[in-house]
A and B are shown apart, each in its own frame.
Chain A
Amino acid sequence: MIRCEQLKVTFNPGLATEKRALCGVDLSIPQGEFITVIGSNGAGKSTLLNTIAGDIRSSGGRLYFDDRDVTALSAAARTRDVARVFQDPLAGTCGEMTIEENMALAYGRGKRGGLKLALNDRLRTLFREQLSRLNLGLEDRLDAQMGLLSGGQRQSVSLLMSALQPSKILLLDEHTAALDPKTAALVMEITDQIVTEKKLTVLMVTHSMRQALDHGTRTLMMHEGKVAFDLAGEERSNYGVKDLLNLFAQMRPDGEELDDDKLLLGA
């Protein structure tokens, strides 16, 4: 269970460039829920994710993992509970290191790194077995350099890596946005598979309305640093992309047109 209470983030406070990125977000994410988050550019989606991860310090409000107040914890200290996959396939893995080394790093997430060898036969067997589920043939290439893999393969491995250790929440930050539509669909399929199997709690930011409705159990729409809509259950299942677009239009009383093609075209 993750709980945000009036979470606020302000960039460059007091300066001409001051930006209130989160203006009091109240959100509670029960265990096992898969939330998709949509919203236009600058709505605060990524800020919300980065604040939960601890990369961004909140300027107000509180954040709880279960009943523990983690507002003051550093990003490194939160990694025991927070797993992540980034938008950029290059960001989530080390291109200069091998697949097995990358997985060993992820296996050590939230643990103290000691002077024990990071890899051993037991781990290699585990990694090989995990990789074989991707059906990408990577299980035979444990010692291949990560940099040799395609973007889709790297994102798939990143997903596996994020699930090697238990987490209270998995943060997916548009993790398919940098992929071609076919690969994106494959990576989403793998996402669903891993999330279901490991019963993960997920917060996934996406630019695609289709994706937001087709995956997960609950959809949030963010607007100007707040949660504007929160759809779940029956109501959500009756929603189509058209309805979401209408919601978007309602939130912009000045009649601003939705010009973000990605929202409409996303796979």
Chain B
Amino acid sequence: MGTLEIGFIFGLVALGVYLTFRVLDFPDLTVDGSFTMGAALAAALIISGVNPYLATISAVFGGAAAGLVTAWLNLRFNILHLLASILTMTALYTINLRIMGKPNLALIMEPTVLSPFQSLGIPSMYLKVIFVAVVVIAIGLLLAWFLNTQYGMAMRATGANPRMAQANGIVVNQKIYAGLALSNGLVALAGALFAQTNGFADSTMGVGTIVVGLAAVIVGESLFNSRSMLVIVLSCIIGSLLYRLAIAVALNADFIGFTTSDLNLITAVLVGLALILPQLRREWKARKAAKGDAA
């Protein structure tokens, strides 16, 4: 159940990463910081007595602001997108510590976004999964719809062919700002939900978020090859679930002997494989085609 719950939460991260890496062609590493920021803001606000829903919405805006900073550094000052996002991410580490006041916060006895549903009598373990699944799928559907609107399509054109976009009257910089804000807002929402379902926020919890998100996107892409926004968005979420499942299997299979500390290596190898295999397949196909011509 924990695997499903985290899988859905990271589905949001995958959607955010899909927006930047794929839609906007803007590799954005800010997410490592904005995930923690979402968790930190939500936790700190809830502890200080703010309504959990309000705290979660604040977290989304916090993440969006972080995305805007990265976009600003890149667009206004021509700092390479990767570097701009690393700068923001680094700054966020300190900011997150400041928000929390200490390296981690516990939310065990505090109200969360789940509290209103606890009276339904569903065991908390299932309630968490259902809640997270509903939220993430609803957001996924909204995002798919958004990407098919005039604004969303303009955003896609901005990433795919900025010159064409501009020639059709699309103000590309504005779309990049909006896209990064949206992406990091989604990731911060993931962080806020993670903090509330797992009962803590920690200053280092965001490390590797980008790789996990990317892994989910790539797993999803390799399974479903479609141009339909709905399919792509759902495949990001499914990719995230499958990725979590693969990790859980790898860690639980005693005969392999992996421990939790091996997680990062496993992730890197999985993502590496997902990137390498399509390339190898292309090369293999090309070689076969060349042979066919010669014969």
A residues near B, CB below 8 A? Answer: 53, 55, 75-77, 79-80, 84, 86, 90-98, 101, 104-106, 108-111, 113-119, 143, 145
User: With A76-B169, A105-B165 in contact, do A97 and B156 touch (Cβ < 8 Å)?
Assistant: yes
Q: Which of B63-71, B106-114, B143-151 is the contact stretch?
A: B143-151
Is the Cβ of B148 less than 8 Å from the Cβ of A117? yes
**How many angstroms from the CA of A243 to the CA of B171 in the assembled complex?**
45
User: With A93-B161, A95-B161 in contact, do A108 and B169 touch (Cβ < 8 Å)?
Assistant: yes
The residue on A at minimum CB distance from B22 is A96
Which residue of A53, A90, A108 is within 8 Å of B154 (Cβ)?
Answer: A108
Q: B160 at interface (Cβ–Cβ under 8 A)? A: yes
Is the Cβ of B169 less than 8 Å from the Cβ of A80? yes
Is the Cβ of B150 less than 8 Å from the Cβ of A118? yes
User: With A75-B166, A76-B166, A111-B169 in contact, do A96 and B160 touch (Cβ < 8 Å)?
Assistant: yes
Q: B98 at interface (Cβ–Cβ under 8 A)? A: no
User: With A114-B151, A145-B227 in contact, do A93 and B164 touch (Cβ < 8 Å)?
Assistant: yes
Contact string against A for B residues 253-280, beta-carbon threshold 8 Å, 1 for contact and 0 otherwise: 0000000000000000000000000000
Contact string against A for B residues 165-176, beta-carbon threshold 8 Å, 1 for contact and 0 otherwise: 111111100000
- Known contacts A79-B166, A105-B157, A111-B150; 15 further A-B pairs (Cβ under 8 A): A55-B166, A76-B169, A76-B171, A77-B169, A91-B163, A92-B164, A94-B161, A97-B153, A97-B156, A98-B227, A105-B164, A106-B168, A110-B169, A116-B149, A145-B227
The residue on A at minimum CB distance from B23 is A96
- Which are the 4 A-B pairs with shortest beta-carbon distances? A79-B169, A113-B150, A94-B160, A118-B153
Which chain B positions have C-beta within 8 A of A76?
166, 169-171
Is the Cβ of B149 less than 8 Å from the Cβ of A97? no
Is the Cβ of A94 less than 8 Å from the Cβ of B164? yes
* Residue in B149, B164, B170 whose Cβ sees the most chain A Cβ within 10 Å: B164
Which chain B positions have C-beta within 8 A of A101?
153, 156
- Cβ contacts A to B, 22 pairs, < 8 Å: A55-B166, A76-B166, A76-B170, A79-B166, A79-B167, A79-B169, A92-B167, A93-B161, A94-B156, A94-B160, A97-B153, A97-B160, A105-B170, A106-B168, A108-B150, A108-B153, A108-B168, A110-B169, A113-B153, A116-B149, A117-B150, A119-B148
